[in-house]
A and B are shown apart, each in its own frame.
Chain A
Amino acid sequence: MEEALLKVNGISKKYHSFALNEVTFSLEPGYILGLTGRNGAGKTTLIKQLLHPETAASGSVTIAGIDAGKHPVQAKQEMGVLMEEMPFLEDWSLEKNGKLLGAYYEKFSQEAFEKYLRKFELGKGTTYRNLSRGMRMKFQLAFALAYKPKLLLMDEATGGLDVVFRKEFYYLLQEAVEQEMVSVIISTHVTEDLDKVADYVAFMEGGRMKFFESKEELYEKYQNYMRRLHGEAAGHGTVRLEDVIYHYDKLVEGKERQKDECYKADR
C-alpha cells in the first residue's frame, strides 16, 4: 500500500460550546476525500486544524512527511486552500495577486498560474473584486495549482453555486488530480458532488469522525442492506451517498447482527 500523503492523528480542538474530538485518518496521494456532515459538525474546524495544527489542543498532522505543527511554513508550501475567506487583495488584478502572494511559495510559477487563468477563462487583468463567487473559486484553484501542492483543501468551495458550474469545476479538479497527482479534501454538505468525484467519504458528527470509508465500500454496504430488507432486486439500484449516510447506523447494525448470527450458528 502506498505511503499516506496526509496523516492526521488524534487532532482535537476545544471551543466554548464545541469540541473536535480526536480525529484520526490518513489519505494517500492522488485520492479525493469527501468530508461531509451537518452544519456545525466540525468540518470547517477540521480543515482549519489541518492548516495550523499548532493551535490544536492535541494531536498531530503530517503532510508529505512534514510535521505541520512543528514546521507550519514548510507544511503550507504543500497545501493549497480554496475557501471563501481567502485574503486575496480585492482591489488588485488577478495577475498582481499572483505575483505578490505567489512569492510566498517556493514552487510558484507565474507562467503556470497565467496558463491556468487562461484555461479557466479568467482575465489576468480582472480585479479580484469583480469576480463572481464561482470565478473566485476558479481563481483560487489556478493560484493553488501554480505551486503544485500535494494536498488541496476545499471548504464549501462550491456551496451555493449552480449545478452547471459545479459540474465544470469538478471536471477541472479531477483533471488536476490526475495530471498533478494531488490529493484533495472536499468539505461540503452537497453529497451529490461527492457521489461523482470522491474516492473516500468521511462523515463528521458532533465534532468527531463517525466514519471514514471508501465510497465503493459504502455503496456495497448499502446495497447489501437493501437486499436484506427488500430482496435481491433492491440491491442493484443507483446508490446515493445521502441515503448511505441516512441509513449508516442500520448498515453497521446489520453487519454486527450478521456476525452475531454466525457466532450463534457456530455454537
Chain B
Amino acid sequence: MNVIKQTDREYKTPEEAFDRVMVSGGYRMFLLVVMFFMVGVELFVGLMPVEGCIGVAIFAASLLVGLVAGPLFWETNANYKAARRIRRAVYFPIRKSAFLLSKIKIMGEYVAVRWVIALVVQLAGAPLFGAGNILLYQGVLLAAAVVNILFYCFIGTVGAGLGE
C-alpha cells in the first residue's frame, strides 16, 4: 500500500490523492455558487403560479434552460479548469478509471446538490405556489440529472479531454 502524506491527511493510493487534489476545493466551491444561482432562476420560473398544461410547459422550459445553461455556465468556468487539470494529468501513470471516477464525482456532486436545493426550495415554496407540479418536476429533474452525468462525463468537453 503506497501511502502519501499530505499535512494531516493520508491517502491510501495515488488515485485517491489525485481525485482529491486534481480538482481542488476552490473549483467545487465555485460550482456550488453557480448551482445556487442557476437553481434559483430555474425554480423562480418553474414555480410561477400557473396551472395545467401551461404550468407544465413553463416547468419544462425552465428545466431546459437549467439543463443547458447551468452546466454550460459551470462548464465554461469551473469545469474548464477542472477538466483542463484532469486532461493534463494524463501525462502521469494514472489509471483511466481514476479519471473517470473524478469526472463522475464532479458532475455527480453538481447534479446531486442542485437536485437537493431544488427540492428544498420547492417544498418551502409549495404552500405559496401549490404542490401539484412538484412530483412531475422532480421526475424530470431526475431524468435530467442522469442525462447531465452521461453527457458531460462521456461525451462532452470533459469526456473528450481524456487521453488527449
A→B interface (CB under 8 Å): 48, 51-52, 54-55, 72-77, 81, 83, 85-87, 89, 96, 99-101, 103-105
With the chains together, A73 CA to B4 CA distance in Å? 19
For residue B18, which residues in chain A have a CB less than 8 angstroms away from its CB?
A: 104
The answer to whether A99 and B4 have CB atoms under 8 Å apart is yes
Partner of B17, one of A74, A75, A86, A103: A103
* B164 engages A101 (CB within 8 Å): no
| A residues near B90, Cβ cutoff 8 Å | 51-52
**Which residues of the other chain, A, contact B6 by a CB distance below 8 angstroms?**
96, 99-100
When A86-B91, A96-B6 are in contact, do A103 and B14 touch as well, CB less than 8 Å?
yes
Range for the number of chain B residues in contact with chain A: 20 to 34
Task: Provide the bound-state CA to CA distance between A227 and B20, in Å.
Answer: 63
State which of B42-50, B69-77, B92-100 sits at the interface with chain A.
Answer: B92-100
Chain B stretch 72-119: residues in CB contact (< 8 A) with chain A: 85, 88-95
Do residues A87 and B17 form an inter-chain contact, with CB atoms below 8 A? no
Interface of A is mostly: helix
Q: Does the CB pair A72–B93 fall under 8 Å? A: yes
Interface residues of B, Cβ cutoff 8 Å to A = 2, 4-6, 14, 17-18, 21-22, 85, 88-95, 163-164
A89 vs B22: C-alpha distance in the bound complex, in angstroms? 8
Q: How long is the Cα–Cα vector from A48 to B21 in the complex, in angstroms?
A: 24
Are B163 and A52 interface neighbours, CB within 8 A? yes
Measured CB to CB, the nearest residue on chain A to B162 is A55
Residue of B4, B17, B92, B164 touching A76 (CB-CB under 8 A): B92
List the B residue with the shortest CB-CB distance to A71: B93
23 residue pairs A–B, Cβ–Cβ below 8 Å: A52-B90, A55-B163, A72-B93, A73-B93, A75-B93, A76-B92, A76-B93, A77-B93, A81-B91, A83-B91, A86-B88, A86-B91, A87-B85, A87-B89, A87-B91, A87-B92, A89-B21, A96-B6, A99-B6, A100-B6, A103-B17, A104-B18, A105-B93
Given A48-B164, A100-B6, A105-B93, 13 more A-B residue pairs with CB atoms under 8 Å apart are A51-B91, A52-B90, A73-B94, A75-B93, A76-B92, A81-B91, A83-B91, A87-B88, A89-B21, A99-B4, A99-B5, A103-B14, A104-B93
